[in-house]
Amino acid sequence: MTNARGHAAVGNFPGSVFVRAGLILLAAGVLAADDSPPAVVVLSPPAGPMSIREWMKAGQWVEKRGRAGNFKVEEEALHLVSEDDSVLIGTGRGFPIDPSKTSLLAFECKVTVLPGGTDLTKADSDDCAFRVYVAFDHGRSLLGVPDTIAYAWSENEAVDSLVQSEHFDNLKYIPVVQGKAKLGEWVTVERDVAADYARAFGVARERVPPVGGIALKIDTNNLKGKAESFVRRVEFRAR
């Protein structure tokens, strides 16, 4: 069928209704996808050979405790080592993050050496081979420690348990890998930080404060042992 100007009158063809409906749904799907906030990549594999100082400067990482001079930047990962010391590095690049929109924390880590004899519930034996700290913009004061969740590779504590730190009452540990079963293997961890904060601090999900920064830690200063781990990706994205 053609109209008065000789063009195909597709609008009068019943099948065109389904074509238009399909295009509308496709467009809606694209728009919905575009509404999702972009992922915030906190740590990614290095672009090429560089020193740990160069890597930290490029990613705006700073030493929060101890010295990261023994860390190494390898081809696909950051290599963390500890021997009778405690090193904490952190960054605020890409923050704050709204947990109502971007609440999924994802990271890839590998532990090759555990300190041995650790206990997350005790201040004098809570050494770790790998830990990711998520700090929230809510604390007692400007000088106080912010509410913090530390996702840990534990030796004894059960995965997904909630462990109170003896150091600070607003520091909570959540083990994400336990023991030696996955030693030497790359492990992918995904956590809904808004849900974890709500559980850890007893608030409704909609009242979870923004994420203000992140840190990585390895330490063996309490038990005087050794630890080694690797991390190649840390990011936040929409749940």
| Together in a domain, 133 and 58 | yes
Which of these, 217, 180, 230, lies nearest to 85 by C-alpha position?
A: 217
Token reading at 111: 């532990």
Could you give the angle at the alpha carbon of 41 between the alpha carbons of 161 and 184, nearest 5°?
55
| Together in a domain, 91 and 160 | yes
| Together in a domain, 29 and 50 | no
| Together in a domain, 14 and 114 | no
pLDDT at 15 over 90: no
| Together in a domain, 122 and 224 | yes
* Residue 100 backbone dihedrals phi, psi, to 5 degrees: -75, -15
Q: What's the whole-model pTM score?
A: 0.84
Which residues are registered as beta bridge partners of 134?
Answer: 149, 214
How many structural domains are present in the chain? Answer: 2
| Together in a domain, 72 and 10 | no
Structural domain harbouring 200: 40-237
pLDDT per residue over 108-159, tens digit each?
A: 999 999 999 999 999 999 999 999 999 998 755 556 789 999 999 999 999 9
| Together in a domain, 58 and 100 | yes
| Together in a domain, 162 and 222 | yes
Question: With contact defined as beta carbons under 8 Å apart, do 115 and 189 qualify?
Answer: no
**Per-residue confidence (pLDDT) for residue 138, from 0 to 100:** 73
